[in-house]
Amino acid sequence: MHREYHRWHSPSLGRDMELLWYGHYGRPLLAFPTSLGSCSQNEDMGLLRSLTDKIDAGEVQVCCVDAIDAECWYNDDAHPGWKVFRYAQYDQYLIDEVVPMIRAKAGREDLMTFGASSGALHAVNFAGRHPEAVSRVISFSGLYDIHRFLYGYWDDNCYFSCPVAFFPNLPPHEVDRMKHIGWVIATGEHDHLVQANRDFATMLAGKGLNVHAEFWGGVFGHDWPYWSEHLRRFVP
């Protein structure tokens, strides 16, 4: 499996950021780590093994990015206003630095995003903020509510970083901008976040968006073996 390591100083974040690139041809997939994870987490935890044949066959290319959770959501020493400001800078890093690289390397714009648990928050938020850049969102065991990280604080950055806040209130013209995106919302029926995922999928479908929801029977689902097992089914 072709693998590349990239590192550069991010103007958006004011520090070095790393990413890993897998594959040489195919539809691009932007993959986020789970909470406090790095760009190597999806490889380290075996997730990419489920896509090895697709990567080697030139069907998909995967770009695994770092997250900055330790500087925002899990930074207990920071004011909540700083947390969401830092997260907004991360979004700028993605759209201004990572997406142009993906488009240049992949030679195509039908980008998919993937994340599990808190990684799903990034995958969904990115699509919500930049629907023109995304064609599919794959969200497993998703965390969509950031209130627990904010201790009662709220501002516009909080609102637009919290899918359960801003998605339900999207005006029709913003919903129309998302009509081309295929949304996959899935987890196990015994996941502690299962109801939140059911509610989020129902809300998206109620807005007329293209949603495929799955709740895997009899399992917890909020763990790497389940995510690895099911991911390949949703990556063309």
Over residues 80-116, the pLDDT tens digits come to: 999 999 999 999 999 999 999 999 999 999 999 999 9
What residues contact residue 107 under an 8 Å CB cut-off, 6+ apart? none
- Taking the C-alpha atoms of residue 67 and residue 27, their distance in angstroms, rounded to an integer, is 22
CA separation, residue 166 to residues 47, 79, 122, 195 (Å):
30, 22, 14, 18
- Taking the C-alpha atoms of residue 61 and residue 40, their distance in angstroms, rounded to an integer, is 15
Query: Whose CA is closest to 212, among 144, 143, 139?
Result: 139
Start-to-end Cα distance in the chain: 18
Is residue 111 classed as helix, strand or coil in its secondary structure? coil
pTM given for the model? 0.97
Q: Taking residues 55-68, what's their average pLDDT?
A: 98
Over residues 106-136, the pLDDT tens digits come to: 999 999 999 999 999 999 999 999 999 999 9
Q: Are 131 and 48 in contact (CB under 8 A)?
A: no
Q: Taking residues 145-160, what's their average pLDDT?
A: 97
Question: Does residue 236 register a pLDDT over 90?
Answer: no
Q: CA 214, 218, 221, 226 torsion: positive or negative?
A: negative
Phi and psi angles of residue 107, each rounded to the nearest 5 degrees, phi first: 70, 25
Strand partners, 60: 27
Over residues 10-25, the pLDDT tens digits come to: 999 999 999 999 999 9
Domains within the chain, CATH numbers bracketed: 3-234 (3.40.50.1820)
Q: Are 186 and 176 in contact (CB under 8 A)?
A: no
